[in-house]
Each structure stands twice: as structure tokens, then as C-alpha cells.
Amino acid sequence: MPLGFERRFERRVKRTIMEHGLINKDERIAVACSGGKDSAVMLHLLNKLGCKTEAVFIDLGMGSYTENSLKSAEELCAKEGVKLRKISLKKETGKTMPEIIKNSEKSGISPCVACGTLKRYILNKKSRELGADRIAMGHNLDDIAETVVISMITGKIELAMRIGPVTESYDKRMVSRIRPLFFSEDCDVLRYCRIARLPFFSGKCRYSSNALRPFVRKMIIQMEEKCPGAKKNIVSNFIKIKEKWKGSRPKLKSCMQCGEPSLKNLCRACRIINAAGIRS
């Protein structure tokens, strides 16, 4: 008898975890929990597999968007019986994300670059402090395909080279990242989320319409219509290229301002924070 959708979806995620060695026995997983469907499904499945999970929510201070996201994250964690750690960006940096964006835009830093950099920065720092062995990110196949295309368009190919089902840490201050939904399509994640009746918030952030990502998303949908399988091919061929790419990992320094690992003397998060006029 053919497996139903639910079982097939769960099997794909489990296979991603097993085949790519995402989680070792007894490892502690900090699950990046945004309140959206991807992190909801990821937390639910990691929990179902018996992993030691703890959810981390970053409060960006974006008004009702943050409030609704947090409400969903709280409902999900209560349903799953998982501890939720709330980290306030304002407490960490002195400003909310809209305040940071307002100032960093003047320096030519786009909202999503500022937001993405600071979220990764805080997530790494807090997960390390919590003693987590891995950070689980909810990126799905569609997100990955978009990131590959964006990295090609913007010429930031080295950013895409860090992407994979697992990004191993090569510096003890960096917690390795895992992406259990790496091979799961966005539409399947949504379908599973609804079947499993997981609470999630689907509202859009006010800055998302100006970002490059929605444009690339539409482009990939059109490609898929003309050439079915295009999305999966973008990701699988990128992985093949990446396997052949044996670039040496640069040694990380310590940021002269915050002490966190950094490629330059001043880390990217501190450059954004400084551009926003914080800690002056």
C-alpha cells in the first residue's frame, strides 16, 4: 500500500537527518522558532523523533508582527511541551529592528541584510550560551533555491557555499546549523502543518515586499512552470558544485567590539549596530 502524504513527508525529513548526519545521539538542539509554519513543522518533527529540543524566539520589536509571531510560538511550544526562550533584540542591542533598519538604511544596508545578520548573530551567541550543540533552522527547499539564485545575482556566492543540510562549525564559538527541511517543498510544509494542526502565524513582515527574495520566488515559480523540476535542480546541482568546491575556510578572528567570531576586525553585526547609532 502506498504511503500517505504525512508518512512520506515525515520519512523525507527523517532521511535528511539520517543521511546527512544532522544530529548525533544526545545532542541539544536550539530550534530557531519564528512563529511561522516552517519552524512549527521542524520543532514538531524533531520532538516526535525524540530530540532534545529548546525553542529560541527573537523578539525583533516589530509591533503586531512580533506579537502575533510570539503568540503562535508560545502556543506551539505549549502544545509540544518544549521550553521557549525569548530573546529581546532591544535588550541585546539597545534598539528594536525598525530603529536599526531606519538608521542602517542610511548606510546602504538593506532591511533584510541588517535583520538577517543580527538574527544569526544573536541566535549563535545565545545558543552557544545555552550549551546547544546544534541550531535548527527552518529553511525549506524553496528558500534554499531562492538563496542560491540570489547569491548568483548579487555575486555573493561564498554565502551560498555555507548552505547545505548541515553547516558544520569550524570554530568552537560558532554553533553548527542544521536544516531538517532542506529537501521539503514549501507547499508540502504548509500542507503538513495544517494536517498536524500546528499553530503558526502567516503574516508578512512590513519590509518583505521591498526585498529581492519575493521577486526571485516569482521567477522560480515561472521557471518551474516552463521547466518542471527546475527548483529541485537548482538545489541538487548547486550541492554537486559545492561538493567539488574545496575552498579553504578562513580563520576567524574575534570582533574588537563584541568579541564574537568574525572574518574582519569588526564583525558584521557590530558594523550594522554602529551604523544604526547604537553603542556610540
Binder of residue 174, out of Zn ion, ligand SF4, none (CB less than 5 to 8 A by kind): none
165 lies in the site for ligand SF4, by CB under 6 A: no
Which of ligand SF4, Zn ion, none lies near 208, with the C-beta cut-off 5 to 8 A by kind? Answer: ligand SF4
Nearest one of 193, 218, 210 to 142, comparing CA atoms: 218
From the list Zn ion, ligand SF4, none, partner contacted by residue 200 (C-beta under 5 to 8 A by kind): none
> Could you tell which of Zn ion, ligand SF4, none binds residue 211, using a CB distance below 5 to 8 A set by kind?
ligand SF4
- Residue 267 touches Zn ion, criterion: CB under 5 A: yes
Q: Judged by CB under 6 A, does residue 150 bind ligand SF4?
A: no
Which residues in the 234-263 window bind Zn ion by CB under 5 A?
Answer: 255, 257-258
Give the residue with the Cβ less far from Zn ion, 22 or 255. Answer: 255
How many helices (H) and strands (E) in the chain? 12, 8
Question: Which long-range contacts (C-beta less than 8 Å, at least 24 apart) are formed by 59-63?
Answer: 59/86, 59/87, 59/88, 59/89, 59/90, 60/89, 60/96, 60/97, 60/115, 60/119, 61/88, 61/89, 61/90, 61/95, 61/96, 61/97, 61/98, 61/99, 62/96, 62/97, 62/98, 62/205, 62/206
- Determine the angle formed by the axes of helices 97-104 and 268-275, rounding to 10 degrees: 80
Give the nearest distance from C-beta 208 to ligand SF4 in angstroms: 4
Closest CA to 187 of 157, 149, 154, 217: 217
> Could you tell me which residues come within 8 angstroms of residue 39 by beta carbon, excluding any fewer than 6 positions away?
31, 32, 33, 55, 73, 138
Query: Taking CB under 5 A as the rule, does residue 122 contact Zn ion?
Result: no
Near ligand SF4 by CB under 6 A: residue from 21, 116, 229, 259: 116
Query: Residue 267 in contact with residue 120, Cβ under 8 Å?
Result: no
Q: Rule CB under 5 A: is residue 270 a binding residue for Zn ion?
A: yes
Number of residues counted as binding ligand SF4 (CB under 6 A): 8
Site string for ligand SF4, 257-276 (x = CB under 6 A): --------------------
Q: How far apart are CA 101 and CA 213, in angstroms?
A: 18
* Residue list 186-215, contact with ligand SF4 (CB under 6 A): 205, 207-208, 211
- Cβ 118 to ligand SF4 shortest distance, Å: 9
Site of interaction with ligand SF4 (CB under 6 A):
111-112, 115-116, 205, 207-208, 211
Site of interaction with Zn ion (CB under 5 A):
255, 257-258, 267, 270
